[in-house]
């Protein structure tokens, strides 16, 4: 399983490097006037609209980053609300007797709280 994760990370990094190189290509070729393409491969590569691909990829990347940011903010908001509900359900606003915030009460603490509440209610 770790090999699969390594391969995914490796190919994602390789794809990112190729993408960054492709974005830098138009900037490199602007200063030099290339000779006329002589081979069929050169002519085929010359027909690729790199500027349009760069513009489209920039728009798609911007949308993906914006949506990812929105999803992360929603997840953060959900987790914050979940933690607050855990704190409130813990009693005393999530504070134990020492004034420290706790998320979970141990059995010993719960028994002490039951004993103190039972003795105070019987008086």
pLDDT tens string for the chain (123 positions)? 788 888 999 999 999 888 888 877 766 555 555 555 578 877 777 888 888 988 999 999 999 999 999 999 999 999 999 988 888 777 655 555 555 556 666 677 667 766 776 665 555
**Domain boundaries, given as residue ranges, for the chain:** 12-27+37-89, 93-123
| Closest alpha carbon to 54 in 22, 32, 16 | 22
- Are the C-beta atoms of residues 26 and 54 closer than 8 Å to each other? yes
Strand partners, 101: 95
- How far apart CA 14 and CA 57 sit, in angstroms, is 17
What is the pTM (predicted TM-score) of this model? 0.41
- How far apart CA 80 and CA 88 sit, in angstroms, is 12
Burial of 75 (0-12, 13-18, 19+ CB in 10 A): exposed
- Per the listing, tokens 């004034």 go with 99
The per-residue pLDDT for 117 is: 65
The per-residue pLDDT for 47 is: 84
């Amino acid at each position: 399983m770790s090999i699969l994760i390594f391969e995914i990370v490796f190919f994602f990094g390789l794809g990112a490097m190729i993408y960054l190189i492709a974005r830098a290509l138009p900037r490199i070729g602007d200063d030099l006037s290339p000779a006329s393409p002589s081979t069929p491969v050169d002519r085929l590569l010359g027909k690729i609209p790199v500027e349009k691909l760069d513009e489209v990829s920039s728009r798609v990347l911007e949308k993906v980053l914006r949506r990812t940011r929105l999803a992360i903010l929603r997840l953060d908001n959900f987790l914050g609300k979940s933690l607050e509900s855990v704190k409130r359900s813990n009693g005393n606003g999530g504070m134990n007797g020492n004034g420290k915030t706790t998320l979970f009460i141990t059995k010993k603490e719960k028994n002490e709280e039951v004993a103190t509440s039972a003795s105070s209610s019987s008086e």
